[in-house]
Amino acid sequence: MKIGFSKDIHVTKKGIPLILGGVNIPSEFGLESHSDGDCLIHAIVEAIFGALNVGDLGKHFPPNDDKFKNYPSTNFLIYTKELLKKMDYKICNIDSFISCEKPKLATYIDKMKENIADLLEIDISLVSVKAGTNEKMGYIGESKAIEAYCVVLLEEVK
């Protein structure tokens, strides 16, 4: 068994879509990034990469490569699913957390979980997504950024 952890953060920017867990969420701002800025998926992918000891997101999808400009982060999950198969590992559990002051995410959590489970071809019961605020403190509390954390447990397929 292997465990991985990651955190991802992106600065908010007005006039671009907010995408978290592959869900386009109505908001006055989105997340600035070379890709679509989906910090939840980025944290999940990097936690899996960490457990597999294969480097980070930038190694697999370089931010200076224009083919990944505005790239859908859902494609990162598809790539990661294939990497897991190639390395003979399966996901036992994903536990993730999104920290943001706004917008409120409760009504989007189930769709995020469904998207992640579908893209990784795992049962939705293996995917936990939670969200909370930063009680108006710091850059998260001031809505200057959104942050996501993830812990993943993998098991070797025998």
Taking the chain (158 residues) in runs of 10, the rounded mean pLDDT of each run is: 98 97 97 93 98 94 85 95 98 98 97 98 98 95 97 96
Distances (CA, A) of 106 to 7, 72, 123, 146, 158: 20, 23, 21, 15, 38
Instruction: Please list the alpha-helical segments (H only) found in 87-128.
Output: 109-120
* Interatomic CA distance for residues 144 and 116, integer angstroms: 26
CA gap 46, 62 in Å, rounded: 14
User: What pLDDT is recorded for position 68?
Assistant: 83
DSSP 21: T
Model pLDDT, residue 141: 95
The pLDDT value recorded for residue 158 is: 82
Instruction: Report the relative pairing of strands 18-20 and 23-25 from DSSP bridges.
Output: antiparallel
Q: Identify the H or E element spanning 70.
A: none
Paired residues of 89 in beta bridges: 156
pLDDT of residue 84: 98
Consecutive H or E run containing 99: strand 89-99
Three-state SS at 18: strand
**Could you tell me the CA-to-CA distances from 139 to 21, 43, 62, 129, 145 in Å, in that order?**
21, 18, 26, 21, 6
pTM for this one?
0.96
Domains and CATH numbers, the chain: 2-156 (3.30.1330.50)
